């Protein structure tokens, strides 16, 4: 990053020394806020996505949302119990990439890694889109600016994360717990109103677009499975807990499971008894809030809190994605730049990459949650399955105390998530899941291409067997010549300086000038003889007005005549005061350097003349 | 241009030698086709633009279009007669920039030049948009692709002009004369149908949005004045005529005036008697065609011919704009690159600049003719006025035979176009003309900034008073040292090569390495002592993980200790096989060079190691 320094300092704060790198340890309450916002916030859209599928078959199957939600809760319980085993086995933090790589091998590891990369990007897209939907439900006038709002939120998250959000624990707790309390208050009041008989109207009549089938119900189930994304975050971040880390992490995971389950089933049941249907322009939670509390303060409060927890949910990807990229880059599967700590001790390049990808998806899908949902959850269930399968393998290999129960639990988890993954892919394939199914193998292929390149480079430049250089005699042997070619555009102060430099390093110098038809050759030769008569000047005619090609040809021939020594190609460059002024000069220097690289010239020297 | 060579050759043809540069001379008939398509084609939209203003006051004032068209015809006559004087005085071709600059001074010249640049861009935008409208009127299914079609046409014109359309004369004649004949056939049949009583319905009732006022009528008049753009083309291109050039040019200008006048008044009168009103999605000329000839072959033919002449009209800007840029660049007011002949002996950069600007306007205004019209004609009337005023001044100074009559004619032209310019600016100011009013002074300021830069550079690098260099003794004096700094990232083959080169040119060498916390210092020192013990290695600690800054600081201090000699900064660079592979390596070399430039290091040498 080399943008305007004062602006950078204003946005990102001052640069931090490496020694400032330290991790804050989190209490259970803080960890639940920091690590679970992604999972908890899915309550804001998961029920709506189920209903959006069911409604295609009219109003009659809408009641199926409740059993579907119960099925998803059972799946959640299995996943939570399964991940408890992972936490015990990986008290240092067991992300899916690491667990799958260690226990299943490199391919499954990279598939898990690639899947997770895609899912982290989608988490940002979905959470930001859902948060914006919460806001536009409250202020419908903002609806036309959906995409712009999404991009603004992404920009703010980017800046916050480039600064580094170290003070996070406490800041995260307020919106997370407020959201949890708000949702429970909503559920309690909603149930109370039902019990006291204040129940609203029936479903309006809805046109039936598709017949009810098992496939159809499974599609609704798949849409709801997005509620499980983010559950793995706690097992990734075990090291962030206070001691005893893995015990606290397991406890937090249990709390998360219970809270998420209750909120999800509560919202789904309320939507059913209040006969809420998904509406364009207002989220389901917003409709519930208005239905139960009226158009007043609590509804507004609920929307703002929903927006905030969804921003936090997106924010968790800003911790997970750059960390995953760091692991992959460290192992040579991603460009090395992703493993560099930035000015503020965060993986800046990973953060920027995540923001760019998420922003592109927001623009493509116009900030609509339900447009992105078919892509979502494919990645996370792939990594669930691989991670749990890896754990099964591990238990069988290690056979530590209590291994059989753990293996059974992880096996159940692996099978359940594998089945769901199959359901998700088959029901949402044509709706967009195919994109992920295609993208993951492409990513894995890219990982291998990148590693192959790094390995090739490392071998090419290895010094194995290279003899010591320092024993060369310091005085230069008399037979070696030091040839140099000086490229001359005009004869001016810049050129004179380059020729002066050439005299100090070379003993065979030739200057070359290309005439594209605009050179006054006689005058140039005359001036040359006056000023630089000790260096021969070659003028090359260029009837096709190309400057670069004749020079390249000349240099190539010159280098061929001087094999075994370094030929220095000297290019004088005028440096203007300001960057914009360089647009007013031909970019010949740049083109020439690029062309010399293509011709494998070894030594290119720029002699700069500052205006 | 450095794009993929085979693609370039396919699109643009082979490179031409400078000696192939020659001009084709045109007969009157051919010249009318080549130089007048811009003016003649305005018949396709000018009447519609008048009606689009009048219709805001309901159907009753639509009949005013006929007197407004007559007023515009009178103005056309004045402009034609006035430009006849210019042709006589400038038989070498008198563009407004040249006439205004020679006779009124540099500021009016540049105002005329800037205005014309803007108007040439707008000519492309308007003509392409109107041509696309003619096509979508014929094939309404293409309507949603308006902007894409416009961009495709601009692309095709760009390619054609980058190739150079030297064979133009005859190719241009077919569509131009077909268009003229078609329009006259349309007018004749239309009048015949009226005379035989086949007149259509009355105007439909139209809601009145604005009251009728003088300002309102003047606005309609301004919209119609776009018909006059392009009339100046003949006086710019006198040299393109066969001998006697200026006499043939004057005759052609008269023909143009008569044909354009008849077509314009004819279309306007027909629209009036056939009660045509502007409709979204179909042009007025297309409506007329269908009304008079039905939905058959002739209507389709008319639309295609209209599209073709509008493409030719846009094409004239591709001759005029790059030529104007060439004049301005030659005088130092625009970047020098605009004065370079491309591979095919055309001013490629001017052509590309024009296409880019026109394409941006097409996208901004969504390819809608009436959205661009308020910006149009401001520039051309500015240049009319300045050019005619310049001619008046010239006649008074030269007083050649018949000067008084000519001066009167040019004076009348200058006053009439100045009044119309005032009317255009005041009636269309808020609708968009302000953009041009703001842009022209900004362009002029840019012209001066650019020239000031070039003058400054020329002075800075001038060799005035520089003593001859060639008399320096060829053998280097013993006291001069040749210091070099070698930047070391890792110790690998690339670094070893750079150090070997340093040994050949310098006698005081130091290597510098920056440790951002990831270097195994002991191992590096050990390897170093084994391989390169004659060169000292400095390892700099960088607690803030910046690589660039410590190197810059080191080099600056080193150069301060070695004043009066050239310090060579040597940077080893690994060059990968393919361009995409460079994304996998840090761009440190690039950043380092940029930073060294900011610190005014004079000699930077890249030693490349090819993988």
What secondary structure, in 3-state letters, does B157-216 show?
Answer: HHHHHHHCCCCHHHHHHHHHHHHHHHHHHHHHHHHHHHHCCCCCCCCCCCCCCCCCCHHH
Instruction: Please choose, from the candidates A373, A383, A375, the residue with its C-alpha nearest in 3D space to the C-alpha of residue A417.
Output: A383
Instruction: Please choose, from the candidates A459, A484, A494, A449, the residue with its C-alpha nearest in 3D space to the C-alpha of residue A570.
Output: A484
Q: Give the Cα separation of A90 and A246 in Å (integer).
A: 8
Q: Which residue has the tokens 């293996």?
A: A407
Instruction: Please choose, from the candidates A276, A258, A252, the residue with its C-alpha nearest in 3D space to the C-alpha of residue A200.
Output: A276
When pLDDT is averaged across residues A346-374 and rounded to a whole number, the result is 90
**How remote is the C-alpha of B588 from its chain's centroid?**
37
When pLDDT is averaged across residues A384-400 and rounded to a whole number, the result is 90
Q: Is the pLDDT of residue A470 over 70?
A: no
Instruction: Please choose, from the candidates B43, B433, B61, B44, the residue with its C-alpha nearest in 3D space to the C-alpha of residue B222.
Output: B433
Q: Give the Cα separation of B380 and B237 in Å (integer).
A: 16
pTM of the entire predicted model: 0.71
Domain boundaries, chain B: 24-455, 483-610
Name every chain B residue with its beta carbon within 8 A of the beta carbon of A607: 602-603
When pLDDT is averaged across residues A604-609 and rounded to a whole number, the result is 88
Q: Give the Cα separation of B484 and A595 in Å (integer).
A: 26
- A213 in contact with B at a CB cutoff of 8 Å? no
Q: Which residue has the tokens 């030929």?
A: A567
**How remote is the C-alpha of B379 from its chain's centroid?**
14
**Which string of DSSP letters, residue by residue, matches B67-86?**
HHHHHHHHHHHHHHHHHHHH
- Alpha-carbon distance B119 to nearest alpha carbon in chain A (angstroms): 24
Whether domain A24-455 has CATH 1.20.1740.10: the reply is: yes
- The phi-psi region of residue A279 (left if phi > 0; otherwise alpha if psi is between -120 and 50; otherwise beta) is beta
Strand partners, B510: B485
The secondary element (H helix, E strand) that includes residue A105 is none
In the numeric block, which tokens belong to residue A296? 């007043």
- Sign of the Cα torsion A513, A518, A521, A527 reads negative
Q: Which residue has the tokens 């010949």?
A: A588
Q: Please report the pLDDT score of residue B476 as a whole number.
A: 47
Side-chain half-sphere exposure of A395, counting CA atoms within 13 A: 20
- A536 in contact with B at a CB cutoff of 8 Å? no
Query: What angle, rounded to 10 degrees, do the helices at A245-273 and A284-293 form?
Result: 70
In the numeric block, which tokens belong to residue B343? 């591979």
Burial class of B266 by CB neighbour count within 10 A (0 to 12, 13 to 18, 19+): buried
Q: Which residue has the tokens 């650019």?
A: B450
Q: How many residues does chain A have?
A: 611
Q: Is the backbone peptide bond immediately before B244 cis, with ω within 30 degrees of 0?
A: yes
Name every chain A residue with its beta carbon within 8 A of the beta carbon of B608: 597, 600-604
Q: Is the pLDDT of residue A165 over 60?
A: no
Name every chain B residue with its beta carbon within 8 A of the beta carbon of A532: 468-470
- Sign of the Cα torsion A252, A255, A259, A260 reads positive
CA dihedral A260, A262, A267, A269 (to 10 degrees): 140
The DSSP symbol for B429 reads I
Strand partners, A26: A241
- A499 in contact with B at a CB cutoff of 8 Å? yes
User: Closest partner residue to A336 among B586, B605, B607, by Cβ?
Assistant: B586
Side-chain half-sphere exposure of A58, counting CA atoms within 13 A: 8
The DSSP symbol for A140 reads G
User: A with B: how many residue pairs have Cβ under 8 Å apart?
Assistant: 213
A314-358 pLDDT, tens digit each: 988 888 898 889 889 888 899 888 887 766 667 888 999 999 999
3-state secondary structure of A577: coil
Number of neighbouring beta carbons within 10 Å of residue A610: 14
- A145 in contact with B at a CB cutoff of 8 Å? no
Contact flag A608-B602 (C-beta cutoff 8 Å): yes
Sorted by sequence, the CB contacts under 8 Å of residue A9 that are 6+ apart come out as none
Q: How far apart are the first and last CA of chain A?
A: 27
Average pLDDT, chain A: 85
CA dihedral B91, B93, B99, B103 (to 10 degrees): -30
When pLDDT is averaged across residues A23-30 and rounded to a whole number, the result is 78
Contact flag A470-B533 (C-beta cutoff 8 Å): yes
User: Closest partner residue to B336 among A19, A581, A584, by Cβ?
Assistant: A584
- B213 in contact with A at a CB cutoff of 8 Å? no
Contact flag A335-B501 (C-beta cutoff 8 Å): no
Instruction: Please choose, from the candidates A341, A320, A177, A328, the residue with its C-alpha nearest in 3D space to the C-alpha of residue A255.
Output: A177
Q: Give the Cα separation of B604 and B136 in Å (integer).
A: 58
Sorted by sequence, the CB contacts under 8 Å of residue A583 that are 6+ apart come out as B335
When pLDDT is cut at 50, 70 and 90, the band that residue A257 belongs to is very high
In the numeric block, which tokens belong to residue B403? 């000067």
Q: Please report the pLDDT score of residue B188 as a whole number.
A: 93
Q: Please report the pLDDT score of residue B433 as a whole number.
A: 87
Name every chain A residue with its beta carbon within 8 A of the beta carbon of B603: 501, 605-608
Q: Is the pLDDT of residue A187 over 50?
A: yes
Q: Which residue has the tokens 């090609």?
A: A549
- Alpha-carbon distance A321 to nearest alpha carbon in chain B (angstroms): 19
When pLDDT is averaged across residues A99-128 and rounded to a whole number, the result is 92
When pLDDT is cut at 50, 70 and 90, the band that residue A230 belongs to is confident
Q: What are the mean pLDDT values of chain B's consecutive 10-residue runs (611 residues total)? A: 59 67 73 86 91 86 90 92 88 82 90 92 94 92 91 91 67 88 93 79 74 85 88 82 86 93 94 88 90 87 93 88 89 86 76 94 90 86 91 89 87 91 88 89 92 86 72 49 87 87 88 85 86 88 83 90 88 81 74 82 87 78
Q: Give the Cα separation of B113 and B237 in Å (integer).
A: 16
A72-110 pLDDT, tens digit each: 999 999 999 998 888 888 887 778 888 898 899 999 999
Contact flag A461-B494 (C-beta cutoff 8 Å): yes
Q: Give the Cα separation of B516 and A17 in Å (integer).
A: 10
Which residue of chain A is at minimal alpha-carbon distance from B470?
A532
Q: Is the pLDDT of residue A64 over 60?
A: yes
Name every chain A residue with its beta carbon within 8 A of the beta carbon of B466: 493, 496, 531
CA angle B318, B321, B327 (to 5 degrees): 135
Q: Please report the pLDDT score of residue B89 as a whole number.
A: 86
From chain A residues 557-576, the ones with a CB under 8 A of any chain B CB are: 565-566, 568, 574-576
When pLDDT is averaged across residues A235-258 and rounded to a whole number, the result is 87
Name every chain B residue with its beta carbon within 8 A of the beta carbon of A492: 461-463
The DSSP symbol for B510 reads E
- Contact A51/A284 with Cβ under 8 angstroms? yes
Instruction: Please choose, from the candidates B303, B278, B280, the residue with its C-alpha nearest in 3D space to the C-alpha of residue B290.
Output: B303
Q: Is the pLDDT of residue A455 over 60?
A: yes
A374-391 pLDDT, tens digit each: 888 888 899 899 999 999
Q: Give the Cα separation of B94 and B96 in Å (integer).
A: 6
3-state secondary structure of B115: helix
From chain A residues 503-532, the ones with a CB under 8 A of any chain B CB are: 503-506, 516-517, 527, 530-532
Q: Give the Cα separation of B367 and B364 in Å (integer).
A: 8
The DSSP symbol for A371 reads H
Q: Is the pLDDT of residue A505 over 90?
A: no
Q: Give the Cα separation of B9 and B186 in Å (integer).
A: 43
Contact flag A543-B18 (C-beta cutoff 8 Å): yes
Number of neighbouring beta carbons within 10 Å of residue B497: 19
Sorted by sequence, the CB contacts under 8 Å of residue A363 that are 6+ apart come out as A147, A151
Query: What angle, rounded to 10 degrees, do the helices at B106-138 and B284-293 form?
Result: 40
In the numeric block, which tokens belong to residue A469? 């250089």
Name every chain A residue with its beta carbon within 8 A of the beta carbon of B602: 497, 501, 607-609
When pLDDT is cut at 50, 70 and 90, the band that residue A50 belongs to is very high
CA angle A317, A321, A326 (to 5 degrees): 150
- Alpha-carbon distance B123 to nearest alpha carbon in chain A (angstroms): 27
Q: How far apart are the first and last CA of chain B?
A: 27
Complex prediction ipTM: 0.72
Q: Give the Cα separation of A417 and A384 in Å (integer).
A: 6
Q: Outline where DSSP puts E strands in B443-544.
A: 483-487, 508-515, 537-541
Question: Which CATH number applies to A483-610: 2.30.110.10, 3.40.50.620, 3.40.50.720, 2.40.50.140?
Answer: 3.40.50.620
Q: B14, B164, B457, B489: best mutation site toward chain A, by most A Cβ within 10 Å?
A: B457
Strand partners, B190: none
Name every chain A residue with its beta carbon within 8 A of the beta carbon of B516: 18
Residue B366 phi, psi (nearest 5)? 55, 30
Instruction: Please choose, from the candidates B29, B39, B27, the residue with its C-alpha nearest in 3D space to the C-alpha of residue B313.
Output: B39
């Amino acid at each position: 990053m080399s943008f305007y320094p004062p602006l950078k300092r204003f946005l990102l704060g001052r640069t931090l020394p490496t020694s400032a790198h330290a991790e804050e340890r989190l209490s259970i309450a803080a960890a639940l806020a920091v690590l679970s916002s992604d999972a908890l916030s899915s309550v804001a859209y998961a029920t709506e996505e189920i209903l959006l599928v069911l409604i295609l078959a009219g109003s009659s199957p809408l009641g199926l949302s409740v059993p579907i939600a119960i099925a998803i809760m059972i799946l959640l319980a299995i996943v939570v119990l399964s991940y408890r085993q992972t936490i015990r086995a990986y008290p240092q933090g067991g992300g899916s990439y690491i667990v799958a790589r260690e226990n299943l091998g490199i391919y499954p590891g990279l598939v898990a890694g690639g899947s997770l990369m895609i899912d982290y990007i989608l988490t940002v897209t979905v959470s930001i889109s859902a948060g914006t939907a919460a806001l536009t439900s409250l202020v419908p006038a903002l609806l036309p600016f959906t995409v712009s709002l999404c991009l603004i939120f992404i920009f703010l998250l980017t800046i916050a994360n480039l600064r580094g959000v170290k003070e996070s624990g406490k800041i995260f707790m307020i919106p997370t717990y407020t959201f949890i309390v708000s949702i429970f208050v909503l559920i309690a009041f909603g149930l109370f109103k039902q019990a006291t008989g204040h129940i609203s109207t029936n479903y309006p009549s809805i046109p039936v677009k598709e017949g009810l089938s098992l496939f159809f119900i499974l599609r609704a189930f798949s849409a709801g499975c997005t509620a499980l994304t983010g559950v793995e975050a706690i097992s990734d971040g075990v090291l962030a807990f206070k001691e005893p880390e893995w015990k606290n992490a397991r406890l937090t995971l249990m709390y998360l499971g219970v809270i998420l389950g209750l909120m999800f089933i509560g919202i789904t049941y309320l939507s059913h008894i209040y006969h809420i249907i998904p509406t364009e322009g207002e989220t389901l939670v917003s409709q519930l809030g208005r239905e139960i509390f009226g158009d007043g303060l609590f509804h507004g409060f609920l929307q703002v809190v929903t927006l905030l927890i969804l921003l936090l949910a997106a924010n968790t990807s800003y911790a997970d994605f750059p960390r995953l990229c760091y692991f992959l880059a460290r192992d040579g599967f991603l460009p090395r730049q992703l493993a560099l700590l930035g000015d503020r001790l965060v993986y800046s390049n990973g953060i920027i990459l995540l923001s760019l990808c998420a922003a592109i998806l927001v623009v493509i899908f116009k900030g609509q949650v339900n447009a992105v949902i078919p892509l979502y959850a494919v990645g996370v269930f792939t990594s669930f399955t691989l991670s749990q399968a890896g754990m099964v393998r591990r238990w069988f290999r290690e056979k530590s105390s209590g291994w059989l129960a753990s293996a059974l639990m992880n096996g159940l988890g692996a099978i359940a998530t594998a089945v769901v993954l199959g359901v998700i892919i088959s029901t949402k394939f044509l709706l967009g899941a195919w994109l992920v199914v295609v993208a993951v193998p492409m990513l894995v292929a890219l990982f291998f291409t990148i590693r192959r390149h790094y390995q090739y480079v490392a071998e090419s430049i290895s010094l194995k067997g290279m003899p010591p250089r320092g024993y060369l005699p310091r005085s230069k042997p008399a037979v070696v010549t030091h040839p140099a070619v000086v490229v001359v555009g005009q004869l001016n102060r810049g050129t004179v300086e380059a020729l002066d430099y050439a005299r100090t390093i070379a003993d065979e110098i030739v200057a070359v000038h290309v005439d594209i038809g605009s050179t006054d050759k006689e005058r140039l030769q005359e001036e040359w003889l006056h000023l630089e008569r000790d260096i021969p000047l070659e003028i090359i005619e260029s009837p096709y007005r190309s400057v670069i090609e004749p020079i390249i040809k000349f240099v190539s021939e010159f280098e061929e005549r001087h094999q075994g020594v370094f030929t220095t190609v000297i290019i004088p460059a005028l440096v203007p005061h300001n960057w914009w002024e360089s647009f007013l000069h031909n970019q010949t220097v740049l083109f020439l350097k690029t062309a010399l690289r293509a011709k494998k010239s070894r030594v290119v020297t720029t002699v700069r003349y500052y205006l």
